[in-house]
Chains A and B, each alone.
Chain A
Amino acid sequence: MNQMAVVPPALPGSVSFSGKRGDFRALVTRGALLELVTVGFYRFWLTTDIRRHLWSDTAVDDDAFEYTGRGKELLVGFLFALAIIVPVYLAYFLISVEAARFKAFASFPLLAFFYLFGQFAIYRARRYRLTRTVWRGVRFWMTGSGWAYAAYAALWGALVGLTLGLMLPWREASLERYKMRHTYYGDLQGSFEGRGWDFFKCGWWLWLLAPIALYVFPLAPFVYAAFKAVEWRWWLSGMRFGGVRLESTLPRGALIGLYWKVIGWIVLLALAFVVYLAICAGLVASMSAAPLNQFFAPQVFLKSIPLLVLAGIGYLAFALAINVVIRIYLLRDLWVRVLVSTNVHGMEAAANVSAKGELASALGEGIADGLDVAGF
């Protein structure tokens, strides 16, 4: 007789990640090469594949997530975003001409508008990603206004600027409250219980160290990694969906190694790039008719076209390799470290949630891509 398969019961509320590191490395390496071949157009599909990989290997209570977005949606969103950004840029240009007539360089405050636009894009991009996130056959979704969020973000941003970063925890708490209040899983409404004061209490010494770290290089990665760890822990521990509570135990030092590994790789890659340039210069010099000592006079060899082309190719490979390194360490490895530190309590509240919510378009992602802003 066929028995029901015996699946070892997972601990209620445990969060796990089952993806293989090698698979992810192959995915991003292949993606970087395809980005090179397609002069960047492949980014929409690579982003999608990375999310599909990360989502579907992440499981809560033994049930894995699923990312249902597709690269084509991102491409269409980007094209729509262009149709909006181009007239906005033109209008910006004409307004700044008018403004600058009264006073030279008076148009700079108008840049603030693009900050608002960027925050709007971040909010809408989050909405797209959430509505493509499915767990147990029910999707996440979001309401709220991107423009209202942008206004909050700008006001809080100004406050943070005025207080030299001291208000940052309160800004994050307030914005997160807005975002989570408008976030749903099915008919389960989200909320955020983290308080700015708690964040500040956990990391007040980082604010003291930050000005020193700006001048003492080896200190900076430690301070930044500790800040990120404190921030992640506080952020996750404040998240709620109805009766479902998240809790993170991420240690302060958990991310320091990752940042140093990235720095190490970048130094190695930069060394390789320099060696490559030296070899190219040697090759081109030996092939050119000019005698060696004449070739290496700076005004001559800096103007050699074959050398410039070789340097350009090397630079592209260098940039793409750095991209691969950053995606492996600061996306995948960081994701895993943060996940395994997380526990979910009150899972019974999510046992029978009714599906609700409409899909959102990828326009926000497109605008964020067009304006080169990121956030979640």
Chain B
Amino acid sequence: MNSGPEHETALLRPAIFFDGMSSRRRTVALAFGNQLEIREDQRPLAAWSYADIRRADSPSGTLRLTCLTAPALARLEIRDSAVAAELGSRCTRLDENMPGRHGTAKIVGWSLAATVSIVAVVLFGVPLAADRLTPLVPQALEQRLGEVADGQVKVIFGNQICSDAAGQQAFAKLVNALRDAAGLDTSVQSAVLSSPIANAFALPGGKVYLFSGLLAKAENSDEIAGVLAHELGHLKHRDNMRGLIYNGGTSFLIGLLFGDITGSGALIFASRSLVTASYSREAEQNADTFSVAVMQRLGRSPKAMGELLLRVTGKEGDRSLSILSNHPLTEDRLKRMTEEDRPRSGPPLLTAAEWASLKAICSVKN
């Protein structure tokens, strides 16, 4: 340290330097001139301009620096706090790269904006997309989906299709009358499944299943006709396809929204069922409207279906939870159908004998 001029020697400061090209640890001396000079054994290794020096992550007690114009991984480490303070006062743009409070506010702001936009898309965009896309889905694909679902239904319910000959004849007569009134073609197929569950459903591609449990609770053919007309309404509106697109889109977006705040699976599920339930309620209402129209066209009572539903579900009463339900309240449905009720003008859809054999259709199982 004798070769340099006296004033410069006084400013030499110890540090550790890694040049970013090799892992060699160099003990260096720093000189604070116009630039920060880094010297090893009096030999200059590098000169960093103060404005280009930035802070890098380091353990507490160590100041670790990097330079914009040096190799990306070149690092200068200063462990003496006095030297660190002195250098810090010269490097005015030291912390420009560090994410700070301002950065966090920006992240929060953008996240909220993203949340609002995702919620808006779920509430308005996805239903619109489902409505517009459904007519574009080829009938063939829907048919295939139907076949898949049909296979699964048969596995779940043990493939117990009721096939009493007289009953089947009566059932076919009922379905054909409804199908003609509904304006659907012969691709619609239907069957009675033996199951204690009181329900009926439509599969994509035009398959309608009626459970014998519902048949057992029905008191006349108009009740069953209303339910079948309701299911035909789902087919006519292609609600299955629409629901599939809608549910897929909503699940994806809500999952995207919540990401993985681990353990929030229940929350994702809850918010999704809330949103999709309202969508399905709307579809159910439209199918009810369709059922009413078909029954009126046949000159039969639309109210009968509502009465059957009430017998099956009982009074649902409580309104506070209706936003969670995927069906409208039974009372409301019955009320609507009663309002639409007219004096019967058409012949009964089934004769008393046919009705009796339909009720007995499950005495023979397939």
Q: Which A residues have a C-beta under 8 Å from some C-beta of B? A: 2, 4-5, 7, 18-20, 34-43, 45, 52, 55-57, 59, 63-64, 66-68, 70-71, 82, 86, 93, 97-98, 100-101, 103-105, 134-139, 185-186, 299-300, 303-305, 312, 315-316, 319-320, 322-323, 350-355, 369, 372
**B144 CB-CB contact with A under 8 Å:** yes
- Binary flags per residue of B1-36, CB closer than 8 Å to A gives 1, else 0: 000000000101110101111111101000000000
A352 and B22 contact, CB distance less than 8 A = yes
Assuming the contacts A35-B261, A354-B21, asked whether A5 and B14 have C-beta atoms less than 8 A apart, the reply is: yes
Closest 4 CB pairs of A and B: A137-B18, A38-B111, A40-B259, A104-B151
A105 and B155 contact, CB distance less than 8 A = yes
A355 and B152 contact, CB distance less than 8 A = no
**B256 CB-CB contact with A under 8 Å:** yes
**B339 CB-CB contact with A under 8 Å:** no
B107 and A38 contact, CB distance less than 8 A = yes
With a cutoff of 8 Å between Cβ atoms, the chain B residues found around residue A103 in the complex are 151
Docked pose: A136 CA to B64 CA in angstroms: 11
With a cutoff of 8 Å between Cβ atoms, the chain A residues found around residue B99 in the complex are 45, 70-71
Partner of B152, one of A18, A104, A315, A369: A104
Given A34-B107, A66-B75, 17 extra CB contacts under 8 A: A19-B59, A38-B112, A41-B110, A52-B57, A63-B16, A101-B144, A104-B154, A134-B75, A136-B24, A137-B18, A300-B318, A315-B267, A319-B263, A351-B23, A352-B22, A355-B71, A355-B73
Q: Which has the most chain A C-beta neighbours within 10 Å: B23, B75, B320?
A: B23
A101 and B147 contact, CB distance less than 8 A = yes
A137 and B75 contact, CB distance less than 8 A = yes
Nearest-neighbour CB distance to chain A for B106, whole angstroms, equals 10
B25 and A136 contact, CB distance less than 8 A = yes
Docked pose: A98 CA to B141 CA in angstroms: 10
B14 and A4 contact, CB distance less than 8 A = yes
A56 and B57 contact, CB distance less than 8 A = yes
Docked pose: A52 CA to B64 CA in angstroms: 13
A59 and B59 contact, CB distance less than 8 A = yes
A39 and B144 contact, CB distance less than 8 A = no
A56 and B73 contact, CB distance less than 8 A = no
Of the A-B pairs whose beta carbons lie under 8 Å apart in the complex, a sample of 30, sorted by A's number, is A18-B60, A19-B59, A20-B60, A36-B261, A39-B258, A40-B258, A41-B259, A43-B259, A45-B99, A45-B107, A59-B59, A66-B56, A66-B57, A70-B99, A97-B141, A101-B148, A105-B152, A134-B73, A135-B23, A137-B19, A137-B20, A137-B23, A305-B321, A305-B323, A351-B23, A351-B24, A352-B23, A353-B23, A355-B21, A355-B22
Docked pose: A101 CA to B144 CA in angstroms: 7
Docked pose: A372 CA to B264 CA in angstroms: 13
Partner of B318, one of A40, A63, A299: A299
Nearest-neighbour CB distance to chain A for B179, whole angstroms, equals 25
Partner of A40, one of B108, B147, B257: B257
B263 and A56 contact, CB distance less than 8 A = no
**B187 CB-CB contact with A under 8 Å:** no
**B262 CB-CB contact with A under 8 Å:** yes
- Binary flags per residue of B103-147, CB closer than 8 Å to A gives 1, else 0: 010011011101100000000000000000000000001001101
Docked pose: A351 CA to B18 CA in angstroms: 11
Residue of B nearest to A135 (CB): B23
Assuming the contacts A64-B58, A100-B152, asked whether A351 and B107 have C-beta atoms less than 8 A apart, the reply is: no
Q: Which B residues have a C-beta under 8 Å from some C-beta of A? A: 10, 12-14, 16, 18-25, 27, 56-62, 64, 71, 73-75, 79-80, 99, 104, 107-108, 110-112, 114-115, 141, 144-145, 147-148, 151-152, 154-155, 248, 252, 256-264, 266-267, 270, 318, 320-321, 323-324
Docked pose: A20 CA to B61 CA in angstroms: 12
Nearest-neighbour CB distance to chain A for B244, whole angstroms, equals 9
Docked pose: A138 CA to B23 CA in angstroms: 6
Q: Which has the most chain A C-beta neighbours within 10 Å: B62, B71, B144, B263?
A: B263
With a cutoff of 8 Å between Cβ atoms, the chain A residues found around residue B257 in the complex are 39-40
With a cutoff of 8 Å between Cβ atoms, the chain B residues found around residue A372 in the complex are 260
B318 and A41 contact, CB distance less than 8 A = no
Q: Which has the most chain B C-beta neighbours within 10 Å: A5, A64, A70, A98?
A: A5
Docked pose: A122 CA to B26 CA in angstroms: 36
Residue of B nearest to A85 (CB): B252
With a cutoff of 8 Å between Cβ atoms, the chain B residues found around residue A37 in the complex are 108, 111-112
B12 and A40 contact, CB distance less than 8 A = no
Nearest-neighbour CB distance to chain B for A39, whole angstroms, equals 5
With a cutoff of 8 Å between Cβ atoms, the chain B residues found around residue A104 in the complex are 148, 151-152, 154-155
B267 and A186 contact, CB distance less than 8 A = no
Docked pose: A42 CA to B151 CA in angstroms: 44
B111 and A100 contact, CB distance less than 8 A = no
With a cutoff of 8 Å between Cβ atoms, the chain A residues found around residue B21 in the complex are 137, 354-355
Docked pose: A185 CA to B12 CA in angstroms: 33
Partner of B108, one of A34, A52, A63: A34
Nearest-neighbour CB distance to chain B for A97, whole angstroms, equals 5
With a cutoff of 8 Å between Cβ atoms, the chain B residues found around residue A38 in the complex are 107-108, 111-112, 115
With a cutoff of 8 Å between Cβ atoms, the chain A residues found around residue B56 in the complex are 66, 68
Nearest-neighbour CB distance to chain A for B163, whole angstroms, equals 21
A4 and B22 contact, CB distance less than 8 A = no
A319 and B25 contact, CB distance less than 8 A = no
With a cutoff of 8 Å between Cβ atoms, the chain A residues found around residue B115 in the complex are 38-39, 41
With a cutoff of 8 Å between Cβ atoms, the chain A residues found around residue B144 in the complex are 97-98, 101
B260 and A39 contact, CB distance less than 8 A = no
Residue of B nearest to A52 (CB): B57
Partner of A137, one of B73, B104, B248: B73
B79 and A97 contact, CB distance less than 8 A = no
With a cutoff of 8 Å between Cβ atoms, the chain B residues found around residue A303 in the complex are 318, 320-321, 324
Docked pose: A319 CA to B266 CA in angstroms: 11
Assuming the contacts A55-B57, A71-B99, A355-B21, asked whether A315 and B260 have C-beta atoms less than 8 A apart, the reply is: no
With a cutoff of 8 Å between Cβ atoms, the chain B residues found around residue A70 in the complex are 99
A42 and B260 contact, CB distance less than 8 A = no
Residue of B nearest to A359 (CB): B72
A312 and B23 contact, CB distance less than 8 A = no
Nearest-neighbour CB distance to chain B for A272, whole angstroms, equals 15
A41 and B27 contact, CB distance less than 8 A = no
Nearest-neighbour CB distance to chain A for B75, whole angstroms, equals 5
With a cutoff of 8 Å between Cβ atoms, the chain B residues found around residue A100 in the complex are 148, 151-152
Residue of B nearest to A38 (CB): B111
Docked pose: A367 CA to B18 CA in angstroms: 35
Residue of B nearest to A64 (CB): B59
Assuming the contacts A19-B59, A35-B261, A105-B155, asked whether A97 and B148 have C-beta atoms less than 8 A apart, the reply is: yes
Docked pose: A296 CA to B270 CA in angstroms: 22
Nearest-neighbour CB distance to chain A for B301, whole angstroms, equals 32
